[in-house]
Amino acid sequence: MKEPILSALNQQLNRELYSAYLYLSMAAYFDAHQLKGFAHWMHMQVKEEFEHAMRFYHYIIERGEQVQCLVLEAPPSEWSSVVNVFEAVLHHEQDVTKLIHTLVDLALQYKDDATHKFLQWFVAEQREEEFSAGQVLKKTKIAAEDSDAFVLLDQELEKRKI
């Protein structure tokens, strides 16, 4: 594997771990505000993002390369509202999508067909991640105006499974 691809894959592994860390911080924010369903939704995100990181980890190892554990940036721990949290989630997922597309471009540039094929799963996954975050954001904006709807949304989010 070419060094620029290995470096970029290790950086993406780090970004996936950061995503898990960010969502863990958001879960803690919701738990601190007794929003059990919102916290549960974030805990499911933590698990999903950690699984994404492990996909990168195993791919790097399977290619006979060395995984580099890079420093994780500290995520924010406070938000101004539940809506603000989900705006941050959507923005973060859009940023991750850009990073995945940059990796795809790099794999094509270096004619690394195995990495290109590996990344296609993430291309599809990011479509789903952005859609899901956008849907919850829309519901959260509506529920922010109606306390009964907010309670119902919290209960709905508690039912999420991976």
- Express each pLDDT in 146-157 by its tens digit: 999 999 999 999
pTM assigned to the model: 0.94
pLDDT at res. 161: 84
Q: What percentage of the chain carries pLDDT values higher than 90? A: 98
What average pLDDT does range 25-29 have in this prediction? 98
CB neighbour list of residue 124: distance below 8 Å, 6 or more residues apart: none
Is a pLDDT exceeding 90 seen at residue 8? Answer: yes
Task: Assign 162 a pLDDT band (cuts: 50, 70, 90).
Answer: confident
Is a pLDDT exceeding 80 seen at residue 76? Answer: yes
pLDDT at res. 102: 98
| Residue 142 DSSP SS3 | helix
- Quick check: 29 and 85 in contact, CB under 8 A? yes
- Quick check: 157 and 40 in contact, CB under 8 A? yes
- Express each pLDDT in 60-75 by its tens digit: 999 999 999 999 999 9
- Express each pLDDT in 88-127 by its tens digit: 999 999 999 999 999 999 999 999 999 999 999 999 999 9
The percent of the chain in helix, strand and coil, each rounded to the nearest 5, is 80, 0, 20
Is a pLDDT exceeding 90 seen at residue 22? Answer: yes
| Residue 76 DSSP SS3 | coil
| DSSP assignment of 14-48 | HHHHHHHHHHHHHHHHHHHTT-HHHHHHHHHHHHH
pLDDT at res. 160: 86
Structural domains in the chain plus CATH codes: 3-157 (1.20.1260.10)
